[in-house]
Structure 1
Amino acid sequence: MEASHTTPESMAAWLPIAARRISGDLLLVLQTNIPDYEVWERGALELPCFENATSITLELEGLGLTMPPSGIFARLTNLHLGCIRLRGPSMLGEAVSSPRCPALQKLTLSGTSGLGNLTIHSESLLEMTLTRVHGLQQLNVTAPALKQLEVLSCFTKGGMILILPVANISAPQLESLMWWDDSDPKFTQLGKMENLQCLSTFPFTIYEETDHVRELQNSYCTRLLRRFELIHSLRFQLVNDLEDIITNQQYLMEDITRLPDITFMFLDITGNGHSFGPSSFHLLRMCTGLRKLSLTFCGTTIRPETLCPSGCVCDQPPSWKSKELALNCLREVEVCNLIGTEHEAALVERLFVWATVLQKMTVTFHCSVAESKAKEFCQMLQSFSRPEISMKGQHFA
């Protein structure tokens, strides 16, 4: 069942009726032009117990919602709550735990508020995503079957800690962890994660500005990295959010002193027209056992003509272009979202030198890049390559 363009009043009237009849999926999206303060004043919608629903998705534009105090969601496997203010005694954790939600496999909370404490005990839960759960103070999860956990900006706002997060996660079968919040071991217990295969950290900013906010945010990343010795794959984001000349800003890469032992790295780079060679070199020299590298150039504004202003120090120290680096296990490289800049070419050229046993490189371009420019860039890459390396991509001859 799907409903949209409805009002809070009409929902309150027909939801109890729907709860008795629905035996499949419920998708409910509230679309209204009501000002936020009026939505707040309208109180809360009481969610009835959907005993036979298999999937529930609610997007309520900030409307209040109270969870049912009793009842069993016997068949529910997927629950998504978005843009919702939880009201009254917080019973969400109780409602989604195994006694009342025995089949739940996927839980998603996005843009919700009013949830100070979330405690879940679930034998069936496989995937859990918490994104901007505003005001969350304590997170306790016991989920022996959980495979994927994502926690993004629940204890922080704009990268700043709003409260000291207290988290206790027991998920021994966890395979994928994305944690974009502080993870101070004094307050955040992640338990044993011996099956963890993939880790994604808070984005790391290359240069500090004037308020030391970036340095604090970077500590979220480095604290998490220090928790793990061995992981199959790491997703790491390097960000240079300075668009103007870089002169005396503090270089923060030295704060990263070690990485886990990894075989596969997803490296996402936002350069804003600046060089990312020195920062990439700093990371790769800690990954000498790397077997596969996926390099993606990111950015909301693609400006291939943008170059650093005269006097910018973003390419320093320049020795990264001449220093030796033995990536003797790296056999495959993917380069995605190229726009054909000199900075991109400089890094890829060094990869050919560092990766002595490279067998395959796959190249894709941003959709804005003209075919003629892409072909020209690919010809340059082929001049860097070696005969034994297979160059893949639609613009290679």
Structure 2
Amino acid sequence: MEMEQSDGGGAVKRAKLSPGAGEDRLSALPDDVLVLILLRLHTAEAAQTAVLSLRWRRVWALLPEFRVAFAGPMPCSVGPAIAAHQADLRYLHVGVMDATPESVAAWLPAAARRLCGRFVFLNLAGRDEDWEEAAARRNVLELPCFERAATVYLDLGLLGAAMPLAGVFARLTELTLARVRFRGPCGLGDAVSSPRCPLAVHDARGLDNLTIRSESLLKVVLKQLSGLLQLTVVAPALKEFFVVYCFHIDQNQPVANISASQLVSLKWLDAFDANTVQLGKLEHLQSLDTFFVFVYGTMDIDGYQYLMEDLTMLPDIMNLHLVVMAEGHDFGGSSFNVLRLCTGIRRLLLQLPGHTGSEAQTACSTGCICDQPSNWKTEELLLNHLEAVEILEFRGSEHEVSFVKRLLNWATVLKKMTVTFDIFVTESMVKELSQMFQGYSRPEICFEFHMYWDFVKVLYAPQG
């Protein structure tokens, strides 16, 4: 029998196997078995088996997965290799440094035709100003329509890209576009509107006005859309909607009109103006994540009035994560105002970040406005669904202790409270506070206390 083998320098020569060496049973295996063997190799290694013999020359082209990565610009051989591929691709991963629109356009349409699963493309390009200016002057990459792909993740390294003018993303369940300069006649909103696909866009340029209309869209994630001025979303089936650092309040006033009556989870970590941002009725909302609310209008509260009364509605929340940056001031009134708007919560996570170890943060001046309004100290609140409370970074200040005492009174069905003390709270203080909480509460409440020992978090177990 004869086999072709490489001499290490790219040349191919024939080698004869001696009769005692046995026959080549491996090559006699069916294609699907050989494909399973080659899938254990890197794509480049699998392609090298083509030099073994005529039998092996086409086997690697049947692989359903294709992974290539280059430390430099993409070689011209990638396009012909993908075009020559004979099998549908359930997974295609291409990583490259400093790709150009022309180098990507040479193989992307062929890849789109073959794709029937997941596609990941990473263009690891430089981020300095000179590079970005050069990228802005380059040609535009015209994206094809991935008609059979299930998920697509494109990090274009700020290359200019135009959305496809035609075609339907019939099977796409997830589309993520990162570091893209949108250009061309077809808008992003047109491309992702029903029935085309869901959407996530990160760190993009060129989207000043984005309109998405979809009857089937379930999730939208928008992050760092530099220059966004206006956002319109009409998606009656939408369940999850995230807007993170897209509007810049110092540059423009956010303008948004969101119509998503079935929304369950909303994350709005961005500028917000109730006069120009319309969220509609959120009757099914269960999760809300927002920026900090300045209770007195500024971090320096002297001379400012209480603003929490403007907060008149919260959704039907079951799990509440409340982060309180009190800076030594009383936070009972503002927290009470939040809790009275969502009395159906079942779990409460109360986080108390501050300047660790600073005695200056444990008290404020006498007569401080933070004590107003003070009716929260006497007014009753029924949290008759709250079963679990977790408190993080507890330092044991007078304001913190007062609020926790009231919370234990309001939570009539509380089953468990977990308290993690600040890293600088001493063991003696942990003992004192833990005994106080247990003595003040109902006996059926299970307490769990954590403290730090040599900067390592441990479960506090009192001796005796």
Tell me the distance in 2 between the aligned counterparts of 1:253 and 1:21: 57
Corresponding residue for residue 4 of structure 1: 95
- The residue type equivalent to 1:311 in the other structure is S
Corresponding residue for residue 220 of structure 1: none
Structure 1 residues 370 and 50 mapped into 2: Cα distance closer, same or farther (>3 Å)? farther
Corresponding residue for residue 14 of structure 1: 107
Alignment of 1:315-334 (within 5 A): 315-317=370-372, 319=374, 322-327=377-382, 329-334=384-389
Q: Which of 43, 58, 62 is equivalent to 2:154? A: 58
Structure 1 residues 373 and 4 mapped into 2: Cα distance closer, same or farther (>3 Å)? farther
SS of the counterpart of 1:331?
coil
Q: Is the 8 A contact 1:289 1:328 kept in 2?
A: yes
Per-residue deviation, residues 31-57 of structure 1 (Å, max 9, x unmatched)? 222532223233432222222211111
SS of the counterpart of 2:403?
helix
SS of the counterpart of 1:280?
helix
Q: Is the 8 A contact 2:153 2:175 kept in 1?
A: yes
Q: Which of 137, 148, 173 is equivalent to 2:240? A: 148
Tell me the distance in 1 between the aligned counterparts of 2:301 and 2:256: 39
**Looking at CA atoms only, which structure, 1 or 2, has the larger radius of gyration?**
2
Q: Which of 271, 293, 311 is equivalent to 1:204? A: 293
Per the TM alignment, residue 323 of structure 1 is displaced from its structure 2 partner at its CA by 2.5
1:253 matched to 2:307? The reply is yes
Q: Which of 192, 197, 200 is equivalent to 1:108? A: 200
Q: Is the 8 A contact 1:123 1:145 kept in 2?
A: yes
- The residue type equivalent to 2:401 in the other structure is A
1:27 matched to 2:127? The reply is no
Corresponding residue for residue 263 of structure 2: 174
SS of the counterpart of 1:307?
helix
TM-score under structure 2 length normalisation: 0.64
1:79 matched to 2:172? The reply is no
- The residue type equivalent to 1:307 in the other structure is A
1:345 matched to 2:401? The reply is yes
Per-residue deviation, residues 93-137 of structure 1 (Å, max 9, x unmatched)? 2222235x2xx3x41122222123333333331111222323334
Per-residue deviation, residues 237-269 of structure 1 (Å, max 9, x unmatched)? xxxxx4xxx562424434425234746461422
Per-residue deviation, residues 333-371 of structure 1 (Å, max 9, x unmatched)? 42243343424333222212333x142233153795789
1:362 matched to 2:458? The reply is no
Q: Which of 430, 433, 437 is equivalent to 1:381? A: 437
SS of the counterpart of 2:225?
coil
- The residue type equivalent to 1:44 in the other structure is V
Tell me the distance in 1 between the aligned counterparts of 2:460 and 2:386: 20
Percent identical residues: 32
Q: Is the 8 A contact 2:350 2:392 kept in 1?
A: yes
1:307 matched to 2:360? The reply is yes
Corresponding residue for residue 135 of structure 2: 39
Q: Which runs of 5+ in 2 are unaligned?
A: 1-91, 451-458
Structure 1 residues 27 and 160 mapped into 2: Cα distance closer, same or farther (>3 Å)? same
Q: Is the 8 A contact 1:177 1:198 kept in 2?
A: yes
1:162 matched to 2:252? The reply is yes
Tell me the distance in 1 between the aligned counterparts of 2:312 and 2:125: 50
Tell me the distance in 2 between the aligned counterparts of 1:75 and 1:118: 23
Q: Is the 8 A contact 1:27 1:57 kept in 2?
A: yes
Tell me the distance in 1 between the aligned counterparts of 2:290 and 2:187: 30
- The residue type equivalent to 2:313 in the other structure is L
Tell me the distance in 2 between the aligned counterparts of 1:324 and 1:149: 36
1:390 matched to 2:446? The reply is yes
Corresponding residue for residue 233 of structure 1: none
Tell me the distance in 2 between the aligned counterparts of 1:181 and 1:134: 13
Tell me the distance in 2 between the aligned counterparts of 1:193 and 1:272: 29
Q: Is the 8 A contact 1:277 1:320 kept in 2?
A: no
Structure 1 residues 257 and 297 mapped into 2: Cα distance closer, same or farther (>3 Å)? closer
Tell me the distance in 1 between the aligned counterparts of 2:127 and 2:245: 27
Aligned pair count?
A: 352
Per the TM alignment, residue 78 of structure 1 is displaced from its structure 2 partner at its CA by 0.3
Per-residue deviation, residues 10-46 of structure 1 (Å, max 9, x unmatched)? 4343323322322211122222225322232334322
- The residue type equivalent to 2:381 in the other structure is A
